[in-house]
Structure 1
């Protein structure tokens, strides 16, 4: 899977989980952790910080600007960011969180089917 798609899928899963009280604490904690890791990665870069804030407010409109910032800052290649994103997706899958992405996490490998394709991140 494309690392940007992995991170965005994790943000979608975490944000989606915030609207229900039944979602596991692991999803909520993982989502908070991912946002914190991204905040540290984006620190001092107002454009990136704003892209993350805008995305949280309106994911449909700001997905592309956030994806651009993930690439420009190198967050899409940061092992800590990717590990945090994988943790969110794994917790979301176990909690049964439904998003536009089909999330499958097995043995630390993530596969997502969504938006016209199947990709695997090893």
Structure 2
């Protein structure tokens, strides 16, 4: 993932974590630090749309574009803070899940190209009578072992 996308993803993770009872203080603190940096250094970048709907990919992409336009992609402290937030959310298990299915009964399952800041695909109690095909999952933002 490119730096601006990592920061936009971290904003979404932080905003979503604030909406759950499972968010730990470390996630809340990390989000406050990230938001503080963003509001001090990039005042013209609006976080409101991502904060209102953290799961909206289009909003995260728009935020990443704005961050890129204002030069935030070259801000190493901002990137470090965003990465720390994503790591804290993963440890607290509040990261976004790409696909989360429960009690699915189907002849087959095919999932392609999922990106998530936490679990890529989670299936609980699924029953399948045919093939299962899962492809190109990148669950860890900033993980250099996956192409971005």
Where on the TM-score scale, by shorter chain, does this alignment land: which range?
0.7 to 0.9
Change in Cα spacing, 1:18 to 1:96, as seen in structure 2 (3 Å) is same
Cα deviation code 1:93-121 (max 9, x no counterpart): 110113031449xxxxxxx815xxx9628
Unaligned runs of 5+ in 1: 105-111
Q: Tell me if the contact between 1:2 and 1:119 (Cα under 8 Å) persists in the aligned partners.
A: no
Q: Which has the higher contact order (CA 8 A, sep 6+)?
A: 1
Structure 2 unaligned residues grouped into runs of 5+: 99-115, 120-136
Length-normalised TM-score, structure 2:
0.61
Aligned: 1:77 with 2:74: yes
Residue of structure 1 equivalent to 2:134: none
TM-score by length of 1: 0.73
Aligned residues: 106
Larger Cα-atom Rg: 2
Q: Does 2:91 correspond to 1:67? A: no
Change (3 A) 1:78 1:4: same
Give the corresponding residue for 2:91: 94
Give, in whole Å, the separation in 2 of the partners of 1:119 and 1:95: 18
| RMSD (Å) for aligned C-alpha atoms | 2.5
Equivalent residues in 2 for 1:1-122 (5 A)? 1-43=1-43, 45=44, 48=45, 51-59=46-54, 60=56, 61-99=58-96, 100=98, 101-103=116-118, 113=138, 120=144
